[in-house]
Structure 1
Amino acid sequence: MPKSSKLPMAAVLVLAAGFFALFVNGSGRLAVGLTLRPMVEDLKWNRADIGSAVAVFQVVSAIAMFFAGRLADRVSLRLLIASGVVVCAFGIGMMGFVSEPWHVLLLFGLIYGVGNAGCSTPTVGVMVARTFPGNTGFANGFVTSGMSLGQLLIVAVLAAVLVQIGWRSVYFWVAAAHLALLPLIYFAVPAHSGNGSLAAQAPREGMSLREAARTRRFWVLISVFAVCGLDDFFVTTHLVAYAEDSGVSQLFAGNLLAVMGLAALIGVLLAGAFGDKTGPVMPTIASFVLRIACFGLLLIDSSTISIAVFTLVFGLTFLVTAPLTVLFVRDAFGMKHLGAISGLITMVHHTFGGIGAYAGAVIFDANGSYAIAFAIMLASSVLAVALMLLYQPRPKESPVAA
């Protein structure tokens, strides 16, 4: 952030809007992981019934994020984000009435998936990057920490609600949290595609999506973000159920996601700050090295202590790539098509997240254990480290060269 003067009020409002949008944004996805086991037991379903809905959500939101990113380059961010919030509130709120697996596919997988894209990291990242061109990493780390803090606070509250009055009420409260965002979005988010003089500070030259796709750098990033999504959404969907299967109490297991959110809060702030100083490559490599260690731990030992250590260590890496996405895209391909390119990368991340969530459910239903899934996640993290070691940052003298 600028050190010589106070931030303009418009910039403060942008930070607040981005922070609270992401604060609420992740709560719906996490609510499904939190309620997975009680829903299955109450409705007499298989875990794959909900895992398939999470997979559909990941694919739908992923595709929608690409289009949301393209729209963020062209239309009113206020309209885009507010529309996403309203659609999210409807889809997640109606989850409290489901009685058949196809209801979850429709409400969570399709409707919530589309709405989620409008108020997620690609659109918020574009808004913040335009406002803070000199400190993009830290500013995006700050707003992404809203997602982590939301995971800490909202999930802790929802875990208590789940124990007291049941899983259906969880979804009503998540819908209410989305609707509460609307006044802030109206007053804080710019009504136009830019942000006045603040946006003018950010250069808008850069490669098109088609030009970027011709570079090796682009495909390395696509592959690394695919692995990241595979890991992220496997863990957030199945960690609570895995802990309960291992003998941990329901309340303690539910709060594991909240603890992960606390660790993620620290992780995204550190990643954003270091990303501004060193570039995004080193924080990304460090993140995957930690994942290799914590997946290996659970393959060796599934005790309560090991699960708690896993939660903290993985939490430090969870969401780390979110503030780094705009840094990778800005440094490699420029600002002109930041929304479209970052939206596509996020689309791949979430698509593979759906694969991770669904594969975890299928593997458990087939084997009664998550061991094979944890081994796959470990191997994929090793692959991500190898790919990042091959990544070649652009030459300093060529802002958008391949």
Structure 2
Amino acid sequence: MKELELTAAPAADPAPPRRTPRVHYGWIVVAVSLVVLVGSAGFRSAPSLMMDALHNEFGWSLATISSAVSVNLALYGLTAPFAAALMDRFGVRLVVVCALLTISTGAGLTVLMTQPWQLILCWGVLVGLGSGSMAGAFATTISGRWFQARQGLVTGVLTAAGAAGNLVFMPLLAALVEQHGWRTAVVVVSLSATAVAVPVLLLMRERPADLGLLPYGATEAPAPPRTDGSAVARSLRVLRDATRSRAFWLLSASFAICGATTVGLVGTHFIKAAHDHGMPETTSASLLALIGVFDIAGTIASGWFTDRFDSTWLLITYYALRGLSLVFLPALFDDSLRPPILAFVIFYGLDWVATVPPTVALCRRHFGEDAPIVFGWVLAAHQLGAAAVAGLAGLARDRFGDYDATWYAAGALCAVAVACCFALRGGRTPVATA
């Protein structure tokens, strides 16, 4: 009997409790992700500052320079869904470090360029692929892996990091271009991309389970991740399944308009449009950075709202307000900083990418655990819309001599986005993809 008792005793020992650190490591991962996203946003902003410098030095048209931006924006979006699958397959840290080094290489090589195709290759292809690997799918992956509670808020904070990148880099790069030339600015971008890789290598971790933790706010461990199979095949399989859903097409259409009316038009051409009215480039770059300041507040607030209100109504509100502001913009430009243009910057800044948290929430609602990859494809639509308008706006400026028609067209597109979101309200939630 004693022997039986002694043999059974070990089975009665309780399992060791999970560690509950005072600060959940998920917040440290968020901090590292913020550094990455701030940097990637700043790196992508450089071409809009170099338009006049490249035009004056090489004689390239604005349409030619805009084509490099279009390629960058398109690849930024098309890379995102594959990057999400690669992060599942090979890990966030490896994918992000490789992306940062790709940006560093692309930006550094532009100092040697003499032909337009070299600008397209370096800034369009290399920087586009690198920055696309750290696009919205990255933020969705981090918030989904490390947080069960506060997902909307974390998504909003990480999305706002893009605005912070403009805040940090735009005035600095504008001053460098003006005082020391565009080559100095791109060297700074190249070195900064390399430096950002250091905290990723030192502090980034893949999942809470690697540290013996649960996701923040979770009461039980999530299902083990699927890491088998080809990342490309999985991305395409998820796309195939998602395209059977009405929600996917409505989200993609509205988000394509989001990209067209933000990074495609305002992010690429605002500085040049303001300069056409006599405003110095450093002043207009500072205004674009100020849009980033208010976007930080607007996007974080949008994440907070997303945790509490219907995401479709939030999107309807955001697109309607954005369309109104763009219709009034041509009448607000002046040769100096005046209250009307400042009011536009504040109002538009609050709405800049406030659409991201509710769009991510709707992807999670409709597509479950495949949401990061589905959002990557929705983001691809966002960037294709941005790429199309970045190029078309450059052509319109060369043809008509101003940007007025593009601002009115952007306002009309926002009305279409509102209609898509109304249609999304009537749709039923489809079965999550396998």
Normalising by structure 1, report the TM-score. 0.91
Gaps of 5+ in 1: none
Q: Please give the per-residue CA displacement for 1:258-316, whole angstroms capped at 9, x wherever unaligned.
A: 11110111111111110111142233222212211211112444335343333222222
How far the C-alpha of 1:79 sits from its partner, in A, is 0.5
Amino acid at match of 1:353: A
Is residue 355 of structure 1 aligned with residue 388 of structure 2? yes
Question: Which amino acid in structure 2 is aligned with residue 179 of structure 1?
Answer: T
Relative distance call for 1:148 and 1:201 in structure 2 (3 A) is farther
Partner of 2:350: 316
Equivalent residue for 1:392? 425
- Give the 3-state SS of the residue equivalent to 2:149 in structure 1: coil
For residues 178-217 of structure 1, what are the structure 2 equivalents within 5 Å? 178-191=193-206, 197-199=213-215, 201=221, 208-217=238-247
Give the length in aligned residue pairs.
395
Post-superposition offset of 1:162: 2.1
Aligned counterpart, 2:254: 224
Q: CA RMSD in A?
A: 2.5
Structure 1 counterpart of 2:140, from 122, 125, 140:
125
Shift of 1:194: 7.3
- C-alpha contact 2:137 2:376 (8 A) present in aligned 1: yes
| Deviation of the 1:188 alpha carbon | 2.3
Once residues 63 and 258 of structure 1 are traced to their aligned partners in structure 2, the CA distance between those partners, rounded to angstroms, is: 26
Does the 8 Å contact 1:133/1:202 carry over to 2? no
Query: Where does residue 156 of structure 1 map in the other structure?
Result: 171
1:268 aligned residue: 299
> How many angstroms apart in 2 are the aligned matches of 1:151 and 1:349?
19
Separation in structure 1 between the aligned mates of residue 101 and residue 26 of structure 2, nearest angstrom: 24
Q: Which sections of structure 2, spanning at least 5 residues, go unmatched? A: 1-19, 226-236
Structure 1 or 2, whichever has the larger Rg, is 2
Kept after mapping to 2: 8 A contact 1:76/1:192 = no
Task: Indicate yes or no: 2:281 matched with 1:281.
Answer: no
Question: What is residue 231 of structure 2 aligned with on the other side?
Answer: none
The more displaced of 279-288 and 356-365 is 279-288
AA matched with 2:353: L
The aligned counterpart of 2:8 is none
For 1:248, the equivalent position in structure 2 comes to 279
- C-alpha displacement of 1:156: 1.8
The 5 A counterparts of 1:2-401 are 6-8=22-24, 10-191=25-206, 197-199=213-215, 201=221, 208-232=238-262, 233-303=264-334, 304-305=337-338, 306-335=340-369, 337-392=370-425, 400=432
Which residue of the partner structure matches residue 233 of structure 2? none
The one-letter amino acid of 1:328's match is: L
CA distance in 1, matches of 2:224, 2:243: 19
Identity %: 24
Q: What secondary structure does 2:278 align onto?
A: coil
> 1:5 Cα shift?
8.4
- What secondary structure is seen at the aligned counterpart in 2 of 1:198? coil
What is the CA distance between 1:195 and its match in structure 2? 5.7
CA distance in structure 2 between the partners assigned to 1:392 and 1:211 by the alignment: 21
Query: How far 1:170 moved relative to its partner?
Result: 1.1
TM-score, structure 2 as length reference: 0.85
The amino acid across from 1:229 in the alignment is G
Query: Equivalents in 2 of 1:201, 1:263: separation in Å?
Result: 37
Mapped to 2, the partners of 1:193 and 1:7 lie a distance apart of 13
What's the secondary structure of 2:45's corresponding residue?
helix
